[in-house]
Structure 1
């Protein structure tokens, strides 16, 4: 599975310049490559990301999560979300699962991975718990 250059460029912008809050990636089966589907603006929230994920199709996403530690320090972690809802096609689930590790390696700087098959598995509380 190829990775479109735009995926890496937009991820670098998210990581270094913080131009985006999140990025949703889609595998284009005809082109056999991962492409950028949606860019979340810096003022958008985690709920906006969750709403961007289709209920019956797989996606990858990265999310730049800002939080404050118990010591009152401002921190940020980049989450990789592998979204594979139960309602999606088996072929699609297999394609996303088999391409995930290679795609993740292309995005240097991911700190936490979350795998979700329904929205409850990627709630903001889970993200907060994994960040600290």
Structure 2
């Protein structure tokens, strides 16, 4: 079903991969890209469970918008192992204005397709989604 605001559909693979990340922890992260010609959001890249947060941030293009989900593991003050699924809207200042507008207008509709997101983050440069930011938002 296409998004009324931007006309973007969500490829079934996006939901499938997200469910695998959420239920089976098959992936550490998923990077999503809007294919303008096909008018849909598709999976661009998946990260293996052993990959680090640095691997994830390195997989985001420096000057193009993307959506991403990241499964963040952490230990609480009570020494409990926990995990949070982050939704990151990556919109670098250097990306084209048209791209920023398309990603911004499609974000809420796309996020609704991914049931189980616990924390949302909007980032325009790498410091806004540094590991320290992720840690503080997780707890």
TM-score over 0.5 for the pair: yes
SS of corresponding position for 1:39: strand
* Divergent runs of 4+, >2 A: none
Question: Pick from 25, 43, 53: which aligns with 2:50?
Answer: 43
Equivalent residue number for residue 79 of structure 2: 72
Structure 1 portions without partners, runs of 5+: none
Report matched runs for 1:26-65 at 5 Å: 26-65=33-72
Cα deviation for residue 121 of structure 1 reads 0.4
**SS at the partner of 1:31?**
coil
With normalisation by structure 2, the TM-score equals 0.95
Offset of residue 74 of structure 1? 0.4
Question: What SS does the corresponding residue of 1:110 show, helix, strand or coil?
Answer: coil
Report Cα offsets for 1:53-101 as digits up to 9, x if no partner. Answer: 0000000000000000000000000000000000000000000000000
User: Which residue is 1:20 aligned to?
Assistant: 27
Identify which of 105, 120, 129 aligns with 1:113. Answer: 120
Structure 2: gaps (5+ residues):
1-7
How far off is 1:38 after superposition? Answer: 0.2
Between the two proteins, the alignment pairs up a number of residues equal to 132
